[in-house]
Amino acid sequence: MTIIILLLLAYIIGSIPSGLWVGKLFYNIDIREHGSGNLGGTNTFRTLGKKAGLVVTIMDILKGTAATLLGLLPFFASANVHPLILGIIAVIGHIYPVFAGFKGGKAVATSGGILLGYNWPIFVILVLGFFIILKITKMVSLTSMCLAIIAIIYSIVYYFTVEKDWPLIVIVSLLAIFILYRHRANIERIKNGTEPKVKWI
């Protein structure tokens, strides 16, 4: 029963629709009706501006971190669920949120939050990589997909050089698949040369 509660709580945390709530509470705007219609940080930046976009991105990151660390709470000590499992449950909640009609974001920030809670050095590397790659490509979507690949490479290198953490390789690979799948429309726009580019970097 404790395990079920733990998994359900991880999903609920992931389901918090940060972009939707921030838009409606502070701007009286449903961001699903603007831009890409996505609930993630990128569409929030485009629709509501930098301040709201930053807040939503941080909230989405912390969702992944919070879910990953749930198992550390004394109440769940006996559950013995791997933190990365809790993280990926939160990502599923972010993609298919119960509080937003099961239509959520693309899981990039929340996936990053999982890594922040589980293996913070990779999170730091990915944040630095984000700004470097975004500076070069000017496309958040392409940058996000590149980071997914970098995360896989890191997990493999980590396995052979630091610790044989095979769950990290498996979960990072699954997260990368989620991210690439959620960006399939962006991939088509990139091919067609119609993908929006950022101007602030």
Q: Is the pLDDT of residue 201 over 80?
A: no
- From residue 186, give the alpha-carbon distance in Å to each of 79, 116, 136: 39, 26, 17
Count of CB atoms within 10 A of residue 169's CB?
Answer: 17
pLDDT at 77: 80
Both tokens assigned to 88: 């990926």
Overall number of domains in the chain: 1
- Whether 138 is in a domain gets the answer yes
Q: What is residue 42's predicted lDDT score, i.e. its pLDDT?
A: 87
pLDDT score at 40: 87
Q: Is residue 65 part of a domain?
A: yes
What's the predicted TM-score (pTM) here? Answer: 0.93
Confidence of residue 51 (pLDDT cuts 50, 70, 90): very high
Angle at 84 between CA 83 and CA 89, to 5 degrees: 100
What does pLDDT average to over the chain? 93
Q: Looking at per-residue confidence, does 166 or 37 come out higher?
A: 166
| 176 belongs to a structural domain | yes
200 has pLDDT over 80: no
Tell me the mean pLDDT in the region 101-118: 94
CA distance 175 to 168: 10
Whether residue 198 is contained in a domain is answered as no
For residue 54, what are the domain limits? 2-192
| pLDDT for the residue numbered 82 | 95
Calpha distance 155→126 (Å, rounded): 12
Phi-psi sector, 107: left (phi>0), alpha (psi -120 to 50), beta: left
